[in-house]
Amino acid sequence: MDAREVKNDFPIFDAHPDLVFLDSAASSQKPRSVLLAMTRFYETSYANVHRGSYPLSDAATDAYEKAREKAAAFIGAARPEEVIFVRNTTEALNLVAHSVAEAFLNEGDLIVVSEMEHHANLVPWQRAAAWRGARIEAIPITDEGRLDLEAAKSLIEQGPRVLAITQMSNVLGTVNPVRTLAEWAKAKGALVVVDGAQGAPHIPTKVADLGADFYAFSGHKMLGPTGAGVLWGRHELLAELPPFLTGGGMIQRVRIDRSTYDAPPARFEAGTPPFAEAVGLAAAIDYLERLGMEAVWAHDRMLVEYALESLAQVPDLKIFGPRGEDRGGVVSFVFPGLHAHDLATFLGQAGVAVRSGHHCAQPLHRRLGVSSTARASFYIYNTREDVDRLVEALLKAREFFKDWL
């Protein structure tokens, strides 16, 4: 994979030729093929889906259902009906937490999460726990930034109803041993929910290999448009779950005082779904598959190793997260004494776009002993020169802010 060639496919870099974009963990840039697929759809095939009985609506419905098939194949789902289109990972996880709480959670049940969860895989479980009288425990992390597997084992030994865990941390870059955790959890009868927001765009992933029951990801972090995400669920489970959102498109029979619901996936897609966005997501998957997910992951791994080595040369910089094969393309760092927002603003002025803040992971930052970090994250259009530019800008920032350090 040649990142320079890849970069040519992304019009944002024509508009900003000097931009070093290191914020793909927040949202990725879009290749021309995705933008064109959506424009073409709007210009030639646009009509609401699953509602019209005229050819244009049939064509739109067909494109939407083909996008579902593509998303299903991308993650190795057993059947397309296991894919529910939602707006993003957050909506997917809210759907699971709400519907699982209604169908399966009882008073006193245990929900196991981890200390490195994004708020999207934590707050919905807090609401579910409060609603059903369940309790939440978190797997702690080690000082290197990995899950403490001993602690995980003993929490799972308690027989949780749900294990909700991220595939890859959006702050530490840690790739968790989801399969092992899922095996332990399933042996105890737990439902396993995996947050794939940082996994699906970067790591070759097949849901059967993960051992999960539910898997959530966002299209906008993997070259697709905003507004289209995926919840995958095992079909037998989806068939048992009540809906989350209700209204048009998800019912069988409606009376004034009661309704019956359609089968999945329609049951979970109330209202007009993000079908033009799903078409864009399908084009994004095509793009990633042309590169090959193994190559995407290898590129991330190469860049993160290079970044960790290069950043270690910056005096005073504190870098978070583990070293090793289980480390994806995310690096968070601070200059102790300097607020991460000030650092990120300085880097931004130098043409290097990074994110700063708590990255929607406040419990993790509390554990790391900082209120915020700056974060560089890599994707297919990033090069080693981008890392060099980051290092150069960090050295300048250190000089500029030297009285603060």
Residue 195 near ligand PLP by CB under 6 A = yes
Residue 377 near ligand PLP by CB under 6 A = no
Nearer to ligand PLP, 201 or 243 (CB): 201
Binding mask 10-39 for ligand PLP (x = CB under 6 A): ---------------xx-------------
User: Residue 278 CB: number of other CB atoms within 10 A?
Assistant: 29
Nearer to ligand PLP, 228 or 352 (CB): 228
CA distances from 18 to 52, 320, 346, 385, 386 (A): 47, 27, 16, 11, 10
The tokens describing 34, both together, are 């995705």
Q: How far is the CB of 15 from ligand PLP (least distance, A)?
A: 24
Element of type H or E holding 207: helix 207-210
User: What is the 8-class DSSP label of residue 327?
Assistant: B
User: Residue 217 CB: number of other CB atoms within 10 A?
Assistant: 30
Nearer to ligand PLP, 170 or 383 (CB): 170
Residue entry with tokens 């697929």: 37
The tokens describing 302, both together, are 């190469």
- Calculate the CA 345 to chain-centre distance: 25
Q: Report the first-to-last Cα separation within the chain, whole angstroms.
A: 40
Among 24, 45, 90, 332, binds ligand PLP (CB under 6 A): 90
Tell me if residue 360 is catalytic. Answer: yes
Residue 373 near ligand PLP by CB under 6 A = no
Q: How far is the CB of 96 from ligand PLP (least distance, A)?
A: 12
Q: Which of residues 301-330 bind ligand PLP (CB under 6 A)?
A: none
Q: Residue count at the site for ligand PLP (CB under 6 A)?
A: 14
Q: How far is the CB of 268 from ligand PLP (least distance, A)?
A: 16
Backbone angles phi, psi at 218, to 5 degrees: -110, 130
Neighbouring-strand partners of residue 352: 20
Nearer to ligand PLP, 172 or 237 (CB): 172
Nearer to ligand PLP, 168 or 314 (CB): 168
Residue 176 near ligand PLP by CB under 6 A = no
Q: How many residues appear in the chain?
A: 405
Q: Which of residues 103-142 bind ligand PLP (CB under 6 A)?
A: 118, 120-121
CA distances from 123 to 34, 227, 362, 364 (A): 32, 21, 11, 14
Nearer to ligand PLP, 45 or 90 (CB): 90
The string over 40-57, giving b where at least 16 C-beta atoms fall within 10 Å of a residue's C-beta and e elsewhere, is ebeeebbeebbeeeeeeb
- Given the residues 360, 388, 392, 401, select the one marked as catalytic: 360
User: Residue 103 CB: number of other CB atoms within 10 A?
Assistant: 12
Q: Which of residues 197-256 bind ligand PLP (CB under 6 A)?
A: 197-198, 218
Active site residues: 360
Q: Which residues bind ligand PLP (CB under 6 A)?
A: 25-26, 88-90, 118, 120-121, 166, 170, 195, 197-198, 218
